[in-house]
Amino acid sequence: MTPLRVLTGITTSGTPHLGNYVGAIRPAVRASLQPGVQSFYFLADYHALIKVGEPERIARSTLEIAATWLAAGLDPQRVTFYRQSDIPEIPELTWFLTCMAGKGLLNRAHAYKAQVDKNLAGGADADADVTAGLFMYPVLMAADILMFKAHQVPVGRDQIQHIEMARDMAASFNHLYGEHLVLPEAAIEETVATLPGLDGRKMSKSYDNTIALFAPPQVLRKQIASLVTDSRKPGEPKSTEGSALFQIYQAFASEPETQAMRQAFAEGIAWAQAKDMLFERIDREIAPMRGTYDSLMARPAQIEEILRAGAAKARQLSQPLMAQLRQAVGLRDLSAVAQQVAHAAPKHAAPSIKQYREADGRFFVKLIDADGTTLLQSLGLDSPREAGTLAARLRQGDASVLSHPALQPGAPLPAIEQALARLLSLSQSA
């Protein structure tokens, strides 16, 4: 059975903060430890170029995010952890998908639409400040996902539309060229909290209200001290409802600890003391990782090496898939094409497909070469529909049929591939 493949990307445009940790990093590292799951995590540095034009910031953020994920416990032996720009097949697939993606579909992408709406509202030209990169963002993201045949993509709600677009592009590609790509699904983690920031709004870089994840402890303490509270005095009971301090505490604390804090609020704990407790609780979880983070940041060459090893592992999948896709779309080795033309025999000499039923009541499919050799032979299938679908895929020369569990090769692979290529060209010229 193929394991469940889970993939997610992190744009390298900032410094990880507590909200990233609670909302994405911590749950992802936990999920990566589950058995039976093959996980892919990557640094989306090509995506970062869409928003960030400062080279130093891109490089710095890539380093910080890599160190953060490793410090948080991501095990590069267990998962595939790589940098997007180390995989040249990704921009190549991006182009293939660009040729599939409807411009109308991309017009509806939220990030692009938001910019256009803002421009129009401000009386500016619709496309002011819109780069083709922003417009193409969903296509690059689809290539990230489809390249590794991910089944599930854990993302925030704001990204669901992008996963649906990736499905769309995969379906169009498969429709035109055969079943090569897996249709992904968004996996939304319902239980993960979004953390409030220093001003009480959602913690986000764009609100400038974040608490850095791996700042030195004295900085963390200071940032927590500046967290917004109401003006209740020590001794006055305080409400946990709507309290950013309480919500952040809860994201780190156990159930009994949370209960105790709720009690302390009711009994009028001073804000300064509650902030001390919040600092202590966060620091207890973060401190061991901070040690790892600091030592990784001191050895960037080690991170570079880990990422390159991850890319080598990832390319063991991306290179063969891309070779298959190049073949599928017709970017082919011309010497093989010339042979096909030379051998292009009269119509009756084409490979053929036989569908039949045996005495045991089961259904069979066979691919027979023009000279009568059996190239592929199916096992007995229970349903005539299944046999019919299989036969139809063979008739269209769909090369992905080779991975069908019921098909047994009866001849060397190149002969089979050549026959399928011939069927493909016949079905296309028909």
Residues 101-130 that bind ligand TRP (CB under 6 A): none
Q: Can you name the residues that pair with 142 across neighbouring β-strands?
A: none
To ligand TRP, the closest distance from the beta carbon of 139 in angstroms equals 11
- Helices 217-225 and 271-297 cross at an angle (nearest 10°) of 150
Q: How many residues bind ligand TRP (CB under 6 A)?
A: 12
Residues 287-306 that bind ligand TRP (CB under 6 A): none
**How far from 6 is each of 28, 40, 144, 396, 410, CA to CA, in Å?**
10, 6, 12, 31, 35
To ligand TRP, the closest distance from the beta carbon of 45 in angstroms equals 10
To ligand TRP, the closest distance from the beta carbon of 7 in angstroms equals 6
To ligand TRP, the closest distance from the beta carbon of 136 in angstroms equals 12
Residue placing its CB nearer to ligand TRP in the complex, 7 or 251: 7
Give 371: exposed, middle or buried? Use CB within 10 Å, 0-12, 13-18, 19+.
exposed
Residue placing its CB nearer to ligand TRP in the complex, 147 or 303: 147
To ligand TRP, the closest distance from the beta carbon of 37 in angstroms equals 16
Residues 143-182 that bind ligand TRP (CB under 6 A): 144-145, 153, 155, 159
To ligand TRP, the closest distance from the beta carbon of 186 in angstroms equals 9
Residue placing its CB nearer to ligand TRP in the complex, 9 or 397: 9
To ligand TRP, the closest distance from the beta carbon of 42 in angstroms equals 8
Give 200: exposed, middle or buried? Use CB within 10 Å, 0-12, 13-18, 19+.
middle
Residue placing its CB nearer to ligand TRP in the complex, 13 or 418: 13
By the 8 A CB rule, do 286 and 213 touch? yes
Q: Which residues does 353 contact at the CB level (< 8 Å), separation at least 6?
A: 365, 366, 367, 368, 391, 394, 395
Residue placing its CB nearer to ligand TRP in the complex, 7 or 394: 7
Residue 141 touches ligand TRP, criterion: CB under 6 A: yes
Residue placing its CB nearer to ligand TRP in the complex, 159 or 355: 159
Rounded CA separation 176/100 (Å): 9
Residues 28-67 that bind ligand TRP (CB under 6 A): 44, 47
Range in contact with ligand TRP (rule: CB under 6 A) among 141-149, 168-176, 191-199, 327-335: 141-149
Rounded CA separation 223/387 (Å): 65
Rounded CA separation 11/43 (Å): 6
Residue placing its CB nearer to ligand TRP in the complex, 187 or 402: 187
To ligand TRP, the closest distance from the beta carbon of 146 in angstroms equals 10
Kind of pairing between the strands at 4-11 and 37-44 = parallel
To ligand TRP, the closest distance from the beta carbon of 11 in angstroms equals 5
Output the residue with the shortest Cβ distance to ligand TRP: 9
Give residue for tokens 């020590």: 234
Residue placing its CB nearer to ligand TRP in the complex, 144 or 168: 144
Rounded CA separation 265/251 (Å): 17
Q: Which residues does 125 contact at the CB level (< 8 Å), separation at least 6?
A: 119
**How far from 163 is each of 103, 118, 130, 269, CA to CA, in Å?**
17, 24, 22, 46
To ligand TRP, the closest distance from the beta carbon of 185 in angstroms equals 12
Q: Report the candidate in 107, 114, 109, 140 with the shortest Cα–Cα distance to residue 9.
A: 140
Q: Which residues does 287 contact at the CB level (< 8 Å), separation at least 6?
A: 217
Residue placing its CB nearer to ligand TRP in the complex, 108 or 332: 108
Residue placing its CB nearer to ligand TRP in the complex, 153 or 244: 153
Residues 4-23 that bind ligand TRP (CB under 6 A): 7-9, 11
**Site for ligand TRP, rule CB under 6 A:** 7-9, 11, 44, 47, 141, 144-145, 153, 155, 159
